[in-house]
Amino acid sequence: MTAPHFHSHVDDPAAVGRRLKDARVAAGVSQRQLSFPGCSAAYISRIEAGVRVPSLQLLRKLALKLDADEQYLAIGVERIEQTPPELVDLEIERRLAGQGNGQPDENRPSGGLADPGDRARVLWEHSRTLVRMGDRRAAARYARDALALLDYGDDRARTGN
């Protein structure tokens, strides 16, 4: 009798396979579409069957292609967001409201989408559209990107760049 193999980056190979398949099906992607050089559709099939244990690097690539949480694929526990999406939404709304209705002021550069605030507004509006469509996960990602752009714009304004 052989001792079981233990992999510190996954909880259970069969469970990883089930979660990967669920994420793939939810994304509407076939095994072939998910494959890439170095990871064939046949290998993905073996992972989903629980016969193979993917490396952490492979799990990251698959999670990225599926827009899934790599930690959830590996151990079945979703990564906790550092800032709840609702708080990100409120902060962006507050900061964009302070910029007016697209009217330039002397404290921020003008120039359309070259301005971080204008780019943040576009991302924020897209985030709101995604919420209305029911895709809260993608909406939260766009909202976090908008907030990062607002932070970048504030840093630029402080340093005079």
Give the least confident one: 17-31, 32-46, 71-85, 126-140. 71-85
Determine contact, residues 84/120, Cβ cutoff 8 Å. Answer: no
What distances in angstroms separate CA 75 from CA 6, 13, 36, 67, 89, one per listed residue?
A: 13, 10, 23, 16, 29
What domains are defined for the chain? 13-75 (1.10.260.40), 85-159 (no CATH)
Tens digit of each residue's pLDDT (9 = 90 or more) over 144-161: 888 888 888 888 888 876
Provide the pLDDT confidence category of residue 78 given band limits of 50, 70 and 90.
confident
**How would you class 27 by CB atoms within 10 Å of its CB: exposed for 0-12, middle for 13-18, buried for 19 or more?**
middle
What is the overall mean pLDDT for the chain? Answer: 81
pLDDT of residue 1: 41
Tens digit of each residue's pLDDT (9 = 90 or more) over 114-132: 778 888 888 888 888 888 8
- Chain centroid to Cα 121, Å, comes to 19
What backbone torsions phi and psi does residue 68 show, to the nearest 5 degrees?
-115, 165
Q: Is 90 exceeded by the pLDDT of residue 9?
A: no
Determine contact, residues 39/67, Cβ cutoff 8 Å. Answer: no
Whether the model clears a pTM of 0.85, i.e. scores above it, the answer is no
Dist. CA 67–CA 103, nearest whole Å? 36
